[in-house]
Structure 1
Amino acid sequence: MTAEGEIIHFDNVGLRYGTEREVLSDLTFTLYAGRFYFLTGASGAGKTSLLKLLYLAQRPSRGAVRMFGNDAITLSRASLPALRRRIGVVFQDFRLVPHLSAFDNVALPLRVAGHGEKDIAGPVRDILEWVGLSERIDAVPATLSGGEQQRIAIARAVIGRPAVLVADEPTGNVDPEMALKLLRLFEMLNRQGTTVVVATHDLDLLRKVPDSLIMRLERGRLADPTGALRHSPARRT
């Protein structure tokens, strides 16, 4: 890392799709290890596009992005998978593998990372129990409700203890009680050192993590009047 605690830095980043106008403009901010961030903004503000840049599904049209000390713009395709494995993602549309059971969907990141089967079963069962799905361990996604699929997606994203967790509306398909439980799971992971970025339109969630930082997008630009995203302490205590 090039600065103490810095894990991701955007410098004057812009993003456009094709010849359309920029959907993100002039983004400059730093994310620090062990901090909890909420990403908010009206529909169409660019939240999902920013998340795509954060989990390396999209490269910016201009500007510089540094991740874990690497220049993410010029990084070779061969180097991308190792970098992406340090980032857990909870997609808004879940993206579960339809023919795999709940257990195998959650185990997938560990298997891709090369963990042996004897090291997989315990952690996968533990995380499924934590999200309340230990009794659905053999169920395939088509037999699960939307809320259950969301919990499987979250379990899959956090099973590998990523350095960064990026979540797009992770509580949008669960009831308030489960939403709070999932938020506490993110907080627990955060206390263990994972940087968490949660995109949400639910403003009530923001008050449930008092020491979180808020990134607010307005028409593709980041509203940061206090400069907190540039001068945040290195990590939570």
Structure 2
Amino acid sequence: MSAEGEIIHFDNVGLRYGTDREVLSDLTFTLFAGRFYFLTGASGAGKTSLLKLLYLAQRPSRGAIRMFGKDAITMPRRHLPDLRRRVGVVFQDFRLVPHLSAFDNVALPLRVAGHAEKDIAGPVRDILQWVGLSERIDAVPATLSGGEQQRIAIARAVIGRPAMLVADEPTGNVDPDMAHKLMRLFEMLNRQGTTVVVATHDLDLLRKVPESLIMRLDRGRLADPTGALRYPPRKIS
């Protein structure tokens, strides 16, 4: 990471699937540590595709991406898992493992990373309490409400203390009251120093985080690539 707190830099990035036209074009921007970003745009604008580039599920068709001071395009594939572990992801459809309990779903990233079982129980219980689900620790996803599943997905995404959290329409499947609670969770995480990127079509959410910065996609291009995104890093108290 640079001295100025840069964690992500896109330089003239484009993305196409197969031989179709580009779904993302000429993206140049920088994201800074400890900031809260909203990614907005109409349906089909390319929000999910951009998120895939941010959490390295997709490589661009052209351009350069630097993440945490490393070239994410040219680095050997064997090094990508270490980079991906620095990014937590909350998917729109949750993607919880149906036969695992809430505890085991949240513990999964730690087990994949090779943590000893004796070091897993405490952090998992703590984070389930943080999202208000300590009493549902043994519940499987099918017995949980949409809001509860979303909070389990958030807990799983942040259990590894990622430097950046990426969330795709995290309030799309919950009622307004739960949406408000989820945004408070994201704010709490952001205040602890995690960079947060939330993709949403709900413009009301933007007013709920006063210090947030806006990335607006319009048909695969950033509407204001030289505006709010070139914002200095915020000091973390």
Category of TM-score, reference length = shorter chain: over 0.9
The question of 1:99 aligning with 2:93 is answered no
> Superposed, which structure 2 residues align to 1:53-72 within 5 Å?
53-72=53-72
- Corresponding residue number in structure 2 for 1:11: 11
- Corresponding residue number in structure 2 for 1:143: 143
The question of 1:42 aligning with 2:42 is answered yes
Helix, strand or coil: the match of 2:78? coil
The question of 1:171 aligning with 2:176 is answered no
C-alpha deviation, 1:174, in angstroms: 2.0
The question of 1:235 aligning with 2:234 is answered yes
Distance 1:225 1:16 in 2: 20
Change in CA separation of 1:225 and 1:64 when aligned onto 2, cut-off 3 Å: closer
Query: Structure 2 regions of 5+ residues with no counterpart?
Result: none
C-alpha deviation, 1:226, in angstroms: 5.3
> Superposed, which structure 2 residues align to 1:22-33 within 5 Å?
22-33=22-33
When the two chains are superposed, the root-mean-square deviation of aligned CA atoms in Å is: 1.4
C-alpha deviation, 1:116, in angstroms: 2.3
Contact kept in structure 2, 1:191 and 1:236, CA below 8 Å: no
Residue 60 of structure 1 aligns to which amino acid in structure 2? P
C-alpha deviation, 1:2, in angstroms: 4.3
C-alpha deviation, 1:3, in angstroms: 5.5
C-alpha deviation, 1:236, in angstroms: 4.4
Contact kept in structure 1, 2:141 and 2:149, CA below 8 Å: yes
Contact kept in structure 2, 1:161 and 1:189, CA below 8 Å: no
Distance 2:54 2:28 in 1: 13
The question of 1:208 aligning with 2:191 is answered no
- Corresponding residue number in structure 1 for 2:131: 131
Distance 1:67 1:130 in 2: 29
State the identity as a percent. 90
Distance 2:45 2:85 in 1: 27
> What TM-score do the two structures reach when normalised by structure 1?
0.95
C-alpha deviation, 1:28, in angstroms: 0.4
Cα deviations across residues 189-224 of structure 1 (Å, max 9, x unaligned)? 111111100001111110111111000000000011
* Structure 1 runs, 4 residues or longer, greater than 3 Å off: none
Cα deviations across residues 30-89 of structure 1 (Å, max 9, x unaligned)? 000110000000000000000000000000000000001111111111100000000000
Query: Structure 1 regions of 5+ residues with no counterpart?
Result: none
Helix, strand or coil: the match of 2:44? coil
